[in-house]
Homo-oligomer: A and B are copies of this chain.
Amino acid sequence: MKLFDGGRAPNPRRVRIFLAEKGIEVPIEPVDMGEMGHRSNAMTSRNPLQRLPVLELNDGTILTETVAICRYFEMLHPQPPLMGTGALGSALVEMWQRRMEFHLFLPVAQVFRHLHPAMKEWEVPQVAEWGEANRPKVMEFLKFLDGHLADKPFIAGEDYTIADITGLVSIDFMKPAKLTLPEGLDNVARWYHTVAGRPSAKA
């Protein structure tokens, strides 16, 4: 098994944090995304959609999509559970994972991809107006999240889950997107401090 990893990019990091929380070691094959390594012939033959991370199993089976790769490891190594347990528990974690993804991770990504000069070759065409339109979406969701976190330690409730990983990576992704966490979101700040302080955050 081999994990083709994209360094500082947010999706590869989500998988690395997930593996670190599980205590799973997987051989890593670094791919230099700055040099467009994810678009090389060798990587395109593995993932024609040219995204990272890519997990290659020993029999050559390819798994792509961050959350699908996490699901694979969750089912092989259920402890500690990071995707919930039982029907309702699993569904609630998936609900929060998706809320973080669609309302925070994706809007931050749009700001970054459509406004950052370094993304010119990545996002064609860059549409500055669309990048700008995503700034208030990020801020509105963060306000909602602050209310949600008022009475619970983690995003899906009592336990650290994949929803916290998506959240942490999204907040860190705000930096290159030149977005600042607004003052006064004390619950988000407290939660971020907790999850960013776990050893897995360095993965």
Contact = CB atoms under 8 A, between A and B. Distances in A.
Interface in A108-135: 125, 127, 129-130, 133
Number of copies: 2
A91 B83 CA distance: 13
Contacts of A39: none
A48 interface: yes
User: Which of the four size classes fits the interface of chain A?
Assistant: 20 to 34
Interface in A44-90: 48-49, 57, 61, 63-65, 67-69, 71-72, 75-76, 86-88, 90
Contacts of A98: 65, 67-68
A90 B64 CA distance: 13
Contact of A49 (B48, B72, B99, B129): B99
A133 B95 CA distance: 29
A146 interface: no
A92 interface: yes
Contacts of A63: 88, 91-92, 95
